[in-house]
Amino acid sequence: MRNRIFGLETEYGLLIHEDATIRSPSWLTRHLIDHVFHTTRNGIIDLHYRGHDEPPGNGGFLTNAGRLYVDMGHLEFATPECHTLSDLVAFSRAGDQILQTALQELGLEDHVSFIKNNIDHETNATFGSHENYLVTRNFPFNLEGLTKLIPFLVTRQIFTGAGRIGRAQSIDGWIPIDSLHPHITAAARPLIPFQISQRADHIVTDFFEWIQHSRAIINTRDEPLADPNQFRRIHLLLGDSNMSEIATALKFGTTGLMLQLIEDQHIPEGLDIDEPVQILRDISCDPERAWVVTLASGKTMSAVDIQEQYLQAAQKYCRGQDEETDWVLEQWEGVLTDLRGEYTRLVGRVDWASKLWLLDSFRKEEQVGWDDPWLKSLDLEYHNIYRDKGLYFGLEDEGQAIRMVTDPAVDIAMHHPPRNTRAFGRGELVRHLVNQSSHDRPLHSTSSTRDLDYVIHWSAFQVRGHPPFRMPNPFKTYTQAVREHLSDCPTDVSG
């Protein structure tokens, strides 16, 4: 993809089985963090506060240059900077595998499951799958520019949604969903047995700066994690966690092309919508899957028609620029064509369709209704990252789910960074610190930066006794410069 760096942050759900003797979810996350960073030494733990809610020891950078940490009680993995969609998919799956391997090494795989989804059916809680796209500082990061992206984001769930049983009863447990539809009585309220997106019920606004206070479609905080004079980071909160590799790549690939069309002023006009949050929910909950959208002009179009307009613009202005772009255009066109027919054509490529097919087949075979708790359990098991248990992996094993990367590529991504971005240089740093650290000396636990042995950020690091080393350009590897810098560093680094 042209001039693009991708990154994916995944918050994992945690399922503790009834017969498990686990003290608590917080104990388990702490135990796993200790295992990854201290026992298997697959990374270097943070020695400093990264924020008021991220104390020392909360997580750290891994040898693959991604980050593993605890965020609001959830274990979260952030991929390293990826310049290709295949790398992004490989490192996303590597994050899953790092957690599952740790569970197995701790002997807990039969008692605990990590679920890569976005909802808790019992509490209505939601947890995120945040997308990151690097753009230049010239990108129109204003209301006019970002509004052009909204219709695409609201409608792309027809091929990026992960699907779910039922609907949320409240937003974060305190705003009743029904308050958004005061004109609809309880008797007239339609039952929603299945919808195509997990996050749609939990998005409350189109733009907002602070994630903690308002879950928006686009987070507008200016935090590039790179040279602020050259770059911005588009941070999206509305997406579902995907199990399908094709869905993950298509989500990022199509969104990357939309950003390019906006940058080049080729984005289709006349597709603005006035109520994006409501339309986001309406599309997700439409039982007929007609997905009709009312535009700001008053005209109505289906979500598929809207997506086809964006596809045609991308075909006209982006086709032929590189092999990966052409792959995205081909897959995008194929998915939109199949969305006009029977949804089962999409099994293995689109998560909501794959899940719906599995659940509906089971429901009919067992003669149970959509409200049966058994189906909610299967809903979760679709997202289980343990290959021996996850329902999605059954589709892979039967050849129904198309792979984009190989298992050996995922194994490499568990321990080694991409070699064509800034992550390569950071990986050199982490591996150096891991190799030089003493096995019998405890970690520094002080919060005083004057006493720390190292501090690592996405765009800079410092090792004690040496000046800061900055890595402001995510497109540069910095590998040789990092090696030269480290060759002069002290060799006894605790960690």
Which residues carry out catalysis?
71
Q: With beta carbons less than 8 A apart as the criterion, state whether 325 and 333 touch.
A: no
Q: With beta carbons less than 8 A apart as the criterion, state whether 90 and 65 touch.
A: no
Q: How many Å apart are CA 181 and CA 146, to the nearest integer? A: 27
Find, among 231, 236, 205, 203, the residue nearest to 219 by Cα: 236
Q: With beta carbons less than 8 A apart as the criterion, state whether 195 and 222 touch.
A: no
Q: With beta carbons less than 8 A apart as the criterion, state whether 418 and 469 touch.
A: no
Q: With beta carbons less than 8 A apart as the criterion, state whether 266 and 313 touch.
A: yes
Distance (Å) of CA 439 to CA 29, 38, 48, 378: 22, 9, 20, 43
Distance of CA 434 to the CA centre of its chain: 27
Q: Which two tokens stand for residue 334?
A: 């194929």
Residues linked to residue 345 through DSSP beta bridges, in sequence order: none
Please, what is the end-to-end C-alpha distance for the chain in angstroms?
38
Q: Which two tokens stand for residue 274?
A: 């006035």
Q: How many Å apart are CA 304 and CA 271, to the nearest integer? A: 13
- Decide the pairing of beta strands 59-62 and 43-45: antiparallel
Residue 46 class from Cβ within 10 Å (0-12 exposed, 13-18 middle, 19+ buried)?
A: buried
Q: Which two tokens stand for residue 204?
A: 């409350």
- The set of residues, in sequence order, having a beta carbon less than 8 Å from that of 383 and lying 6+ positions away, is 13, 115, 116, 117, 162, 241, 243, 390, 392
Relative orientation angle of helices 245-263 and 85-105, to the nearest 10 degrees: 140
102-128: burial string, b at 16+ Cβ within 10 Å, e else: bbeebebbebbbbbbbbbbbeebbbbb
- The set of residues, in sequence order, having a beta carbon less than 8 Å from that of 368 and lying 6+ positions away, is 362, 374, 375
Q: Which two tokens stand for residue 335?
A: 């998915």
Instruction: Lay out the sheet containing 469-470: strands in order across.
Output: 454-456, 460-463, 469-470
Instruction: Decide: helix, strand or coil at residue 423.
Output: helix
